[in-house]
Structures are given as C-alpha cells and as structure tokens.
Amino acid sequence: MYAWVYDPHSGGVKIPAAVRQRTERRIRSYAEAHYAGKFTRLEIRFRGVFCYIDAYTDPTEPAESLLLITGETREQYLERCRNIPLHLCRLRYFEEERWSMAFFTYSNEKYEPSVFNTGSFEGTPEEGFETSAIYLQDF
C-alpha cells in the first residue's frame, strides 16, 4: 500500500520571469538592509524551479607561507579569492511566498535540504537569505 508523503524538497514550479525579477529585488534589498558590509556582491541566478544565492567577500590577508605554497603574489591571491563564490543556499519555488531551502554543504559540496530559522520547511526568499547568512557571520 502506498501513502502520499509531503516533501518540500521535490517538485516545484518553474519560476516566471516577473517573479524572478521581484525575487531578486527582494533578496538584494533585504541583504543590503541587514548585511551591508558582509559581502562585496551577490549573485542571484535562476534555473527552472531553483533560485541560487551566492555571495562574494573580501579575502583575509594571506600569510607569506601561503603565498609560497600557492606560488602567487599577494595581489594575485587576493584577486583569485575575490572571485570565489560563497554558496549560500538554493531556494525551490512553489508560490511567490512559498519556497523551500537547501544549504550548500562544503563538506560534501552539494545542496542539502534544510529548514528555515522559523523551524518551517517553507518560507520567503528573505527568510532563506537570513537563514543562509550564517556563512556571512564573523566568528
């Protein structure tokens, strides 16, 4: 016997162009209002049912020993690191105010289903950014 099980991390609806534009504006506006200075730029891209959010940050000053290992000058190292994205999350679209989220896990380099900070499996794009902004925190 089969039973229907709700899975917020499968399915979804292709994101309409108008929703893509509004979503990008919403995420950028929220990020600037709450995380200004924590990133140099955001990359928000859409593919099918997904919205990917990446941030770029200024790298820390490299140690001389690291430069010897990489064989780069300080400027080369900083330029290379400025262009490495910090993958924050992937949002899956269902409705304009109903998205699911997956974190990018660096341990296995793939997106893993996650809950929002609210404890819900569904939320808004702003809540998705807020939840994944843990990667932008200073520790």
Question: Which SS3 state, helix, strand or coil, does residue 20 take?
Answer: helix
Total-model pTM: 0.89
Q: Nearest 5°: phi and psi at 115?
A: -100, 160
Q: What's residue 1's pLDDT?
A: 73
Question: Which SS3 state, helix, strand or coil, does residue 27 take?
Answer: helix
The four Cα atoms 111, 11, 122, 14 give a dihedral, to 10 degrees, of: 90
Q: What's residue 139's pLDDT?
A: 52
Per-residue pLDDT of the chain (139 residues; tens, 9 = 90+): 787 777 888 889 999 999 999 999 999 999 999 999 999 999 999 999 999 999 999 888 999 999 999 999 999 999 999 999 999 999 999 999 999 999 999 899 999 999 999 999 999 999 999 999 988 876 5
Helical H runs in the chain? 17-35, 64-70, 74-82, 125-132
Q: What's residue 135's pLDDT?
A: 85
Q: What single letter denotes the amino acid at residue 21?
A: Q
